[in-house]
Structures are given as structure tokens and as C-alpha cells.
Amino acid sequence: MIIITGGAGFIGSNIAKALNRRGERDILIIDNLVNGKKMLNINDLDIADYMNKEEFIQRIKNNEDFGGHVQAIFHEGACSATTEWNGKFIMENNYDYSKSLLHWCDQHNVQYLYASSASVYGSGLVFKEERANELPINMYAYSKFQFDQYMRRFQQQAKNQIIGLRYFNVYGPREQHKGSMASTAFHFHHQISKTGVAKLFEGIDGYENGEQRRDFVYIDDVIAVNLWFLDNPDKSGIFNLGTGRSQSFNDMANAVIKWHGKGKIEYIPFPDHLKGSYQSFTEADISHLRAAGYKKAFKNVQQGVKCYLDWITKSDHYPPL
């Protein structure tokens, strides 16, 4: 059995779909479905069972099993809102939950692959998996950073594989439920479709309008890395998961405009509530991932946007604009 927490979410549901393509059906999805629209992410999956998050956490804390051998847990479940400042809520959902799973996996000799985040680097300009480069600037980032720190200590005595993947700006199919936290590719597509205008932030932190840069990584590449580590249980550690190349928000908007064959860009004032807690630049150093043996190329924004918007137009379960 393979367990996926946050299995009805963006990355979790894509992992489940990729496992289905491999012929894997013995999958346990963990989520809460308070947002029932996430059902659209899992209605085409073949899984063994679904379990509510609260029941799952309690069973983990009680050190129960799940009716058979568990090969791996993909821990994708978390509060991912970078604008959430309720620290107690964030630490319970992101940090404590991750620790409980880490200990359960170690006791049961289960591969543990969990979602970390590029947000741990804060406003720094060096994105390499080293403590000196890590300085989170919001609660979400702190929860991910602190668990990475805990994992580093625990890994020294761990009996099983532990993989932390620091996701950069992931975009692609099955993110429509995320609302304001969905990718800029998603929002630009909707804006161009409805009004013909993609709205980007004006410049900040020395960047010109729309020239803030992120390492945008397409979901298929993210899933490929996850499954590569599943297939290589001798590998452990924390790894950046990005393309290794930053591109501007203007690049992203222009890729969407090119796909539509219409549209323009409009710049809007930078929001006050994001000042001081916003990353204007990210670019993954993927030398550690390459050294581990992962060799596949990553799509750039232009390639990824085409794949994404092509998928949207042919998807039967994608919600209408």
C-alpha cells in the first residue's frame, strides 16, 4: 500500500494519478474534503480507500497499522497559505503532523517522502540546501523550515528512507481548488479568458514591473522526481525541486497570452500586506538533486504553460470558467 496525505490536493492527486498509470491501485488517500470541490481531483482515480485526516492522525498517534504492508507515505498534506499568521494552527497542521508521521514510518520501516518548500530560504539569494541560506519570513515557511531541521537530526539514526522535497513554484493540472493560492499560470489563464488582461504586480525590491522572478516548475516534473525517489529507497536527504532557472512573471503572462493568441498585461500596485513577507526572486540550486542521480530535463515556462492549458481545454472534469 502507498499512503498519500493531502491526496485530494494539487500535488497529492497528481502523485496518485501517476501511480495509477503505473498500474498501482493499492492507494490510501488522506484528506478532509471540507472543500468538497477537491473531489474533482480524485474522481478519475482508482484507489483502495479514502480516510479523513483526523481519523488518520489519531491512528498514527496510536501506532496502529492499516491492514497490510505500507511501502511509502507521500506527505503532501499541509496548510499552504503563506498569508496565514495563526502560528498555533500552522505548527499543529504542518510541523506536529509531519513529526508524527516521521516517527511512525521509522517504526514501521516505511519510506517517507514529504513536501518541504522553497519558502524556507526567505528573501535570500542563495537557494542551496544548507542551514546558512535558510531564514523563513512567514509562518508557513517557518513550519517547513523547523521540520527540515528536525528531520536533519532524526535522519542520523533513521532506519528508513526520508526525503524532503523543497518545492519551488509548482503549477499545472488539479490546482483549481486552491483559490488565491493557485499558480499565476492558473490566474493569468482565467484573466485572459474573461477580460483579455493579465494583472501583474508593479516592481518592488529593485525589480521592474512584472520582473520579479521565480523558479516555476511544472507539475509533471515534480511528480517524476517524487517517483524517482520512491524507486530509489537508498537515497535520503533534503533536495530542492525546481528547474534551476528563474523566469519572470512577465514570461509567465506572455506564455499564457501566446497560447490564447490574444491579451495584454496590466500592472497593479504591490499589496501592502505582502511587503516584507514576499519572495521577489527564487532559483533552485539543483546540484544536490543531480548528484543524487536524477538526470531528466525540466520544462521551461513556455513548454509547461502549453502542456497545462492544453490539458485544461480537454479535461472533462475541469470546472467551467
DSSP string, 83-143: T---HHHHIIIIIIHHHHHHHHHHHHT-EEEEEEEGGGGTT-S--SSSGGG----SHHHHH
Rounded CA-CA distance 100/59 in Å is 10
DSSP state of 173: S
Rounded CA-CA distance 100/45 in Å is 27
Rounded CA-CA distance 210/268 in Å is 10
Which backbone phi and psi does 165 adopt, to 5 degrees? -110, 115
Helix (H) or strand (E) holding 144: helix 139-154
Instruction: Say if residue 247's pLDDT is above 90.
Output: yes
Q: 105, 155 in Cβ contact below 8 A?
A: no
Catalytic annotation, pick one of 17, 99, 178, 306: 178
Rounded CA-CA distance 198/184 in Å is 10
Percentage of residues of the chain with pLDDT beyond 70: 98
Q: What is the pLDDT of residues 58-92, one digit of tens each?
A: 999 999 999 889 999 999 998 777 778 899 999 99
pLDDT at position 181 is 85
Strands (E), the chain: 2-5, 27-31, 49-52, 72-75, 111-117, 162-167, 169-171, 197-201, 213-214, 216-218, 237-241, 247-248, 264-268
Residue 149 grid coordinates: 531541521
Residue 143 grid coordinates: 513550519
Q: Looking at the domain that runs over 2-170+217-244, which CATH code has it been given?
A: 3.40.50.720
Confidence of residue 139 (pLDDT cuts 50, 70, 90): very high
**The model's pTM:** 0.94
Q: What is the pLDDT of residues 254-283, one digit of tens each?
A: 999 999 999 999 999 999 888 876 888 999
Q: Does 140 qualify as catalytic in the annotation?
A: yes
Nearest to 210 by CA among 181, 240, 248, 174: 248
pLDDT at position 317 is 58
Rounded CA-CA distance 282/181 in Å is 17
Residue 267 grid coordinates: 500592472
Q: 118, 240 in Cβ contact below 8 A?
A: yes
Provide the residue ranges of all domains of the chain, joining segments of one domain with +. Answer: 2-170+217-244, 172-214+246-282+300-314
Q: 57, 97 in Cβ contact below 8 A?
A: yes
The whole-number average pLDDT for the span 115-132 is 94
Give the total residue count for the chain: 321
pLDDT at position 49 is 97
Q: What is the pLDDT of residues 108-119, one digit of tens each?
A: 999 999 999 999
Domain spanning 172-214+246-282+300-314, CATH class: alpha beta
Catalytic annotation, pick one of 97, 140, 167, 218: 140
pLDDT at position 318 is 61
Instruction: Say if residue 315's pLDDT is above 90.
Output: no
Q: Does 296 qualify as catalytic in the annotation?
A: no
Average pLDDT of the residues of the chain: 94
